[in-house]
Amino acid sequence: MGTGSSLRGILLVAGATFFWSLSGVFVRWLPDIDPWSFNAFRGLGLGLSMALWIALRYGRGSVALLRRSPIAGLLISAGFFALGSSLYIASLDLASVAAVSCLTATSGLFAALMARFFLGERTPPIFYLAMLLALSGVAAIALGEGDARVQGLAGTFTGLAVAACFAAQSVALRRYRGFDMEPAFLLGGFLTFAAITALGVVIVPPLQSIAVLLLMGLVQLAIPLVLYMVGARSVTTSHMVLITMADAVLNPLWVWIVHGEVPPHAVYLGGALVLAAIALTAFAPQSAATEGETETKSV
């Protein structure tokens, strides 16, 4: 992997992380919208944004793009996105933004393990030590988050499920990095909207709120997903997702600045342990090669 290509990938993933970290600000702006309706219209915003992006970028080749997209890659990426994004919005009803951010930050560790088994990417032993450290942080958050223990545990397990979904989606993007995966995000957005609507649980919010949710689909989902997809072509799975762990700091920071939300004290301890795990893995050597592959090619 060339140094320039790797640096470009890192910058793209870092840019994606910035836009993703705005999620808590949007959620707290619309406290009266139930999680189902919130995620349905946010997904619709993503689908519409990706449809516009594909039309503008590929023009007449848009249909050809859809035809050559790998069916398995589309279904895996879209499915894990729809599930993970729905669980994410639900988790913010069960825990503070800071706690959810710390929990979802463990996605990099899940991704390192998944990439080892499904892609053959070599995982340095230090990642396993980091996993234990991060799990200690998760336990601290679980024991101290929320007024009710049940709510705290529910928020913890939901946050971890989000991390696992994000890791699986990242591995899928890495696996199919030779393809343009915009159709997966388009499908994921519309699938989220259609699935939630089909359940009959959507309560149509005011037009102003719908406009904010559609904007969120563009700013907080479509833009960072495209940046992340392109960055995934030249950055290994473990390092790729580890960069996004900066969300654990940025997301609650924006919410604190904009909305004044102060997290429980246990989140500081748990978050410190999770961030220590991230710092530990930052010193691991980047091994872009998979078993039997010596170079990652940019497409």
Contacts of 270 by beta carbon, 8 Å cutoff, 6+ apart: 99, 102, 137, 138, 139, 140, 141, 144
What is the distance in angstroms between the CA of the first residue and the CA of the last residue of the chain? 13
User: Structural domain boundaries of the chain?
Assistant: 3-282
Dump pLDDT digits (tens) for 2-39.
556 677 888 898 899 899 889 888 988 888 888 888 98
Dump pLDDT digits (tens) for 231-285.
877 777 666 666 777 777 778 888 888 888 777 777 778 778 877 877 776 655 5
For residue 72, pLDDT over 70 is answered with yes
Return the bridge partners of 121, or none. Answer: 290
Residue 57, CA distances (Å) to 53, 61, 115, 129, 191 in order = 6, 9, 30, 43, 22
Q: Is 10 exposed, middle or buried (0-12, 13-18, 19+ CB in 10 A)?
A: middle
**E strand map for 22-174:** none
Work out the pLDDT band at 46, boundaries 50, 70, 90: very high
Residue in the block written with tokens 């619709």: 44
Predicted pLDDT of residue 293: 36
Predicted pLDDT of residue 151: 52
